[in-house]
A and B are shown apart, each in its own frame.
Chain A
Amino acid sequence: MSQPALILRDVHKSFGSGERRLCALDGVSIQVAPGSVTGLIGPDGAGKTTLMRLCCGLLKMDGGSIEVLGLDAAQQPAEVQAAVGYMPQRFGLYEDLSVQENLDLYADLQGVPKDDRPERYARLMEMTRLAPFTSRLAGKLSGGMKQKLGLACALVRPPRLLLLDEPTVGVDPVSRRELWEIVYTQVQEEGMSVLLSTAYLDEAERCDEVILLHKGKVLGQASPGRFSEEMVGRVWEVAAEGLRPRRLQAELARHPGIDDAIINGDRVRIISSQGYQPQAGTLLPTVQGLRLEAAAPRFEDAFVDRLADPDEAQRATPEINKLAPAERTGNPIEVEKLERRFGDFVAVKRISFSVGRGEIFGLLGANGAGKTTTFRMLCGLLPLSSGRVSVAGHDLRTAAARARGRIGYMAQKFSLYANLTVAQNLRFFSAAYKLRGSRQQERIEWALDGFELASYADTNAGTLPLGYKQRLAFAAALMHEPEILFLDEPTSGVDPLARREFWARTNALAEAGVTVLVTTHFMEEADYCDRLVIMAEGAVLAEGTPHEIRARARTPDNPAPSMEDAFIALVQGRETAA
């Protein structure tokens, strides 16, 4: 079995025509080794999904050739489709069919003999731990369970090559680990080859080999270790006494000799520029008690180092005016025994927390944990079933319109008017926030300059590149200089570089005294928050500073647990308690 499971030779593919022509894949040549897991890594829009679809013969390529298990994908699509298993990003589960009926359908379609089914079903149900739910409708499963069922359907007849398109997006950490276990079991037991795309960089390390894809081009193919090796000697961890990691990170990010600085637990992880050797004493002369240690490089370091474009690296962060000291005392956000029911389903179960002025407060949890419901109640978009909410002293649902002028809001999905231009959007939102005349003009210019949107002012918002869309949404939420900013999943579907840009901006806001409430399902982002709550199934699992929460998961085996470890420990702790 030395022949590669999948070979791409100089594959080209573009969409649209004329000026709008978009090149999705530009001369891609890769190979996937048999009996291994190969990761396809790249930011959104890199061409991952297009590549997957080409491999199963769902798209016609413009040039090049693809060989799947010795078959030509362009000439023999039916044979290819019969031989591979494919799980699209949104797997085709029929939500109005039960788990069993979905399995039966795919077994019928794949031609699995009736006699072999009970055994296969039993094995799949055991692996996915879905056995107790076989008669439940697929639409009623949680996000993680749906994803596992999708994988089970793709595995009903074990394929020789399995293609998985972003199988773990938005899935809670526990289900993510289970999905990975299933994949590895299949590789070991059935000798399956797997090509898996993901936007989570930590998952790259679990692959045998990694293909880095960016803007339709392959930047490299090697084992994750090989990628990291290149970074040896450039990755460090910095800590300073008396200085919060967030401040330290902001200082370090401005340093000319440092390419990247991110918060990692209680420390800041930096990548020094090629040929620059940072010293604890001289790195930041103004900071006392700085400690610097060399750290083991990770795949993410290599990724950022390769992709960060010096031109794009100037992070578009506008100047933010310091807020006038508050007239009122008391916390800007107070939540008490908040509950929300939809019929007999309790989406949010009597949760309480409060957010102090100038704090970045995180609401963490997997999809479906109740984050967004809570968030919408805070913004006054959803009535409460019971409990009390106070934002800047008001319940926004009943408060006068003026109270809403104090908050800024950025929705999960890009939610500006897609067929209005950037300038028209800004003009409308500034008018909606009662800005007028020269003040309005001044703020529009501030947004266009500060977020580097000036060159796109007359472009339709809907056709902006993803990163710019987010800048625009951010700008629109800040037009009126709000005291409190609500951000719902701002980093979902955004590549690591844009996420860095986003957090730099949010930090600057918090420094200026703005209170920020942010939801996210990326556990590692928790470290950017001053305080956070972790939610699961509508209830608060834990509340505290990132340090406190991580400390709960500390065990002799794992003295420095990550936030994800802490989350899993919390969930499992609750399950055993129940």
Chain B
Amino acid sequence: MLRHILALAVKEFLALLRDPRSRFVLIGPPIMQLIVFGYAASFDLDHVAVAIFDEDGGGAARELVSRIQGSPHFEIIAHIKEEAQVAPLVDNKKVLLVLRIEPRFSDHLAKGRGGSLQLILDGRNSNTAMLALNYMRAIVLDFNQYLGKVRGSTGPPVKLSMRAWYNEDLNSHWFIIPGIVGLLTLVVTLVVTALSVAREREQGTFDQLLVTPLRPTAILMGKSLPGLVIGVIEASFIIVVAMLWFEIPLRGSLGALYLGLLLFLFSAVGIGLMISAISVTQQQAVLGAFLFLVPAVILSGFATPIANMPEAVQWLTFLDPLRYFLVIVRGVFLEGDGYALLMDQYWPMAIIGLLSLAAAGWLFRHRMY
């Protein structure tokens, strides 16, 4: 039995690595996705285009404007003089926000009265707008405290001392890039295993395999081994790139990460083989993998938090192995988690893996034509 599985696995590897198209699937997407996600996918803002509508022109206003100018998040691209200029700038996406400083702003402040500002934001991209708003608030708050100090008053009686744990600089690459470990491993493993049976069906070699004395379980295991091995190699490659190239700290236990990885691959291989057992042609297998991947990625919390989804959709995410692995990989990378804290993520993946492999085995036996 063991020799059979080994012979099959060796053959699978040879078949995979000797075919230029599969070699490409193994090498092309990882590099492309690393570049795209590593650089393009970011929620961080810098150099947001800003227009200043300064109706005051006094010293305090100039001080505020220079603070905005000094911030890496904003770039002032226009100073406007009249109200009518605001709408075209915002409408035409020339600027994301316009800061309007009321007439006699400096004057009011000097007299100890409150000065007021108006911020006009383009809300077409609500996330960007929200972040820009927060940055601007922080600048204004800072300005307030500076004014208080200048005037010798104490400032607000209560201060917030904010600290961001695990990702001190709030760098969203730290969030996205460890996620790629999960995303990419899932894509590659799923495609490799989903294609493995379908390819043989299409080329007629599956019949040839079924008439040999190999047992279906041996075939199943021989086919899952390459998926596991390739998954581990790809994941390790991305982990290394994440650490060395993108300089993301790995704070937790490597063992806990790899345990999670193995369980995750186990479930991915199970699902891949299930898709493979159902499909007759490679095209169907690719389509099946695609149909699974799109929801699996969207509902995994890869880019947007699961907590923001409606309750019913949140329940659905429990079926998604990527959901658990993303917690593990981010937990180990950033939060420094070990085995104990990740227990709740391990067992659901094991169950998904067992159930899908059992289903794949059943489909193998009952759908041999």
Q: Do chains A and B touch in the complex (CB under 8 A)?
A: yes
Of A55-63, A97-105, A423-431, the one contacting chain B is: A423-431
Of B14-22, B129-137, B228-236, the one contacting chain A is: B14-22
Q: Mark B199-214, 1 if CB is under 8 A from A, else 0.
A: 0000111011111111
A380 interface neighbour in B3, B11, B211, Cβ under 8 Å: B211
A431 to chain B, nearest CB (A): 4
Known: A411-B208, A416-B208, A424-B14. A401 touches B213 (CB 8 A): yes
Known: A409-B208, A411-B208. A431 touches B15 (CB 8 A): no
| A379 B211 Cβ-Cβ under 8 A | yes
Known: A413-B204, A415-B204, A420-B14. A433 touches B368 (CB 8 A): no
Chain B residues in 8 Å Cβ range of A476: 208
B208's nearest neighbour on chain A, judged by CB, is A415
B41 at interface, CB cutoff 8 A: no
B16's nearest neighbour on chain A, judged by CB, is A419
B251 at interface, CB cutoff 8 A: no
Q: How far is the CA of A563 from the CA of B22 in the complex (A)?
A: 47
B213 interface neighbour in A412, A415, A434, Cβ under 8 Å: A434
Interface residues of A in 156-186 (CB under 8 A from B): none
| B14 A409 Cβ-Cβ under 8 A | no
B362 to chain A, nearest CB (A): 15
| A432 B7 Cβ-Cβ under 8 A | yes
B168 to chain A, nearest CB (A): 50
B223 to chain A, nearest CB (A): 13
A23 at interface, CB cutoff 8 A: no
Chain A residues in 8 Å Cβ range of B212: 404-405, 429, 432-433
B219 to chain A, nearest CB (A): 10
B165 at interface, CB cutoff 8 A: no
B10's nearest neighbour on chain A, judged by CB, is A428
Q: How far is the CA of A429 from the CA of B10 in the complex (A)?
A: 12
Known: A413-B204, A424-B11, A432-B4. A404 touches B211 (CB 8 A): yes
B73 at interface, CB cutoff 8 A: no
Q: How far is the CA of A285 from the CA of B272 in the complex (A)?
A: 66
Q: How far is the CA of A75 from the CA of B210 in the complex (A)?
A: 53
Interface residues of A in 343-384 (CB under 8 A from B): 376, 379-383
Interface of B is mostly: helix
| A431 B207 Cβ-Cβ under 8 A | no
B363 to chain A, nearest CB (A): 14
Chain A residue total in the interface (Cβ 8 A): 35
Q: How far is the CA of A382 from the CA of B207 in the complex (A)?
A: 10
Q: How far is the CA of A428 from the CA of B212 in the complex (A)?
A: 11
Known: A381-B210, A428-B7. A418 touches B203 (CB 8 A): yes
Q: How far is the CA of A407 from the CA of B213 in the complex (A)?
A: 9
Chain B residues in 8 Å Cβ range of A429: 208, 212
Chain B residues in 8 Å Cβ range of A383: 368-369
B212's nearest neighbour on chain A, judged by CB, is A432
| A381 B211 Cβ-Cβ under 8 A | yes
B366's nearest neighbour on chain A, judged by CB, is A383
Q: Mark B266-299, 1 if CB is under 8 A from A, else 0.
A: 0000000000000000000000000000000000
| B7 A417 Cβ-Cβ under 8 A | no
Chain A residues in 8 Å Cβ range of B211: 379-381, 396, 404, 407, 409, 486
| B3 A420 Cβ-Cβ under 8 A | no
Q: Mark B218-256, 1 if CB is under 8 A from A, else 0.
A: 000000000000000000000000000000000000000
A477's nearest neighbour on chain B, judged by CB, is B208
B215 at interface, CB cutoff 8 A: yes
Known: A415-B203, A460-B18. A420 touches B208 (CB 8 A): no
| A402 B213 Cβ-Cβ under 8 A | yes
Chain A residues in 8 Å Cβ range of B10: 428
Q: How far is the CA of A434 from the CA of B369 in the complex (A)?
A: 24
| A436 B3 Cβ-Cβ under 8 A | yes
Chain A residues in 8 Å Cβ range of B214: 401, 432
Q: How far is the CA of A432 from the CA of B205 in the complex (A)?
A: 13
Q: Mark A38-51, 1 if CB is under 8 A from B, else 0.
A: 00000000000000
| B215 A419 Cβ-Cβ under 8 A | no
Q: Which of A382, A420, A486 gathers most chain B CB within 10 Å?
A: A420
Interface of A is mostly: loop
Q: Which of B4, B212, B369 gathers most chain A CB within 10 Å?
A: B212
| B14 A404 Cβ-Cβ under 8 A | no
Chain A residues in 8 Å Cβ range of B215: 401
Known: A431-B4, A431-B7. A416 touches B213 (CB 8 A): no
Known: A417-B15, A420-B14. A432 touches B368 (CB 8 A): no
B217 to chain A, nearest CB (A): 10
| B213 A432 Cβ-Cβ under 8 A | yes
A415's nearest neighbour on chain B, judged by CB, is B204
Q: How far is the CA of A6 from the CA of B7 in the complex (A)?
A: 56
Chain A residues in 8 Å Cβ range of B3: 431, 436
Q: How far is the CA of A49 from the CA of B6 in the complex (A)?
A: 43
Known: A381-B369, A382-B368. A411 touches B14 (CB 8 A): no
Q: Which of B3, B14, B215 gathers most chain A CB within 10 Å?
A: B14
Chain B residues in 8 Å Cβ range of A417: 11, 14-15, 203, 205
Q: How far is the CA of A415 from the CA of B369 in the complex (A)?
A: 15
| A411 B204 Cβ-Cβ under 8 A | yes
Q: How far is the CA of A362 from the CA of B19 in the complex (A)?
A: 37
Chain B residues in 8 Å Cβ range of A460: 18
B16 to chain A, nearest CB (A): 9
Known: A411-B208, A433-B212. A376 touches B369 (CB 8 A): yes
B1's nearest neighbour on chain A, judged by CB, is A401
| A415 B4 Cβ-Cβ under 8 A | no
Q: How far is the CA of A419 from the CA of B13 in the complex (A)?
A: 11
Known: A381-B368, A432-B214. A419 touches B19 (CB 8 A): yes
Q: Mark A209-221, 1 if CB is under 8 A from B, else 0.
A: 0000000000000
Chain B residues in 8 Å Cβ range of A416: 205, 208
Chain A residues in 8 Å Cβ range of B19: 419
Chain B residues in 8 Å Cβ range of A381: 207, 210-211, 368-369
Known: A417-B11, A431-B4, A432-B7. A380 touches B210 (CB 8 A): yes
| A420 B204 Cβ-Cβ under 8 A | no
Q: Which of B18, B213, B214, B368 gathers most chain A CB within 10 Å?
A: B213
Chain B residues in 8 Å Cβ range of A414: 204
A143 to chain B, nearest CB (A): 19
| B369 A404 Cβ-Cβ under 8 A | no
Q: How far is the CA of A498 from the CA of B369 in the complex (A)?
A: 30
Interface residues of A in 529-550 (CB under 8 A from B): none
Chain B residues in 8 Å Cβ range of A418: 203
B18 interface neighbour in A379, A419, A486, Cβ under 8 Å: A419
Q: Mark A258-280, 1 if CB is under 8 A from B, else 0.
A: 00000000000000000000000
Q: How far is the CA of A402 from the CA of B14 in the complex (A)?
A: 26
Chain B residues in 8 Å Cβ range of A397: 368
B110 to chain A, nearest CB (A): 81
A475 to chain B, nearest CB (A): 13
Q: Which of B8, B207, B211, B369 gathers most chain A CB within 10 Å?
A: B211
Chain A residues in 8 Å Cβ range of B210: 380-381
Q: Mark B334-369, 1 if CB is under 8 A from A, else 0.
A: 000000000000000000000000000000000011
Q: Which of A381, A382, A407, A486 gathers most chain B CB within 10 Å?
A: A381
Q: How far is the CA of A413 from the CA of B19 in the complex (A)?
A: 20
| B207 A379 Cβ-Cβ under 8 A | yes
Chain A residues in 8 Å Cβ range of B8: 428, 432
Q: Mark B76-110, 1 if CB is under 8 A from A, else 0.
A: 00000000000000000000000000000000000
A–B pairs, 5, beta carbons within 8 Å: A379-B211, A401-B215, A404-B211, A415-B205, A416-B208
Of all A-B residue pairs in the complex, the 5 with the closest CB atoms, nearest first, are A415-B204, A431-B7, A432-B212, A401-B213, A405-B213
Given contacts A404-B212, A415-B203, A417-B15, 15 further A-B contacts (CB under 8 A): A376-B207, A381-B368, A382-B369, A404-B211, A405-B212, A405-B213, A411-B207, A411-B208, A415-B207, A416-B208, A420-B15, A429-B208, A431-B7, A432-B209, A460-B18
Measured CB to CB, the residues of B under 8 A from A are: 3-4, 7-8, 10-11, 14-15, 18-19, 203-205, 207-215, 368-369
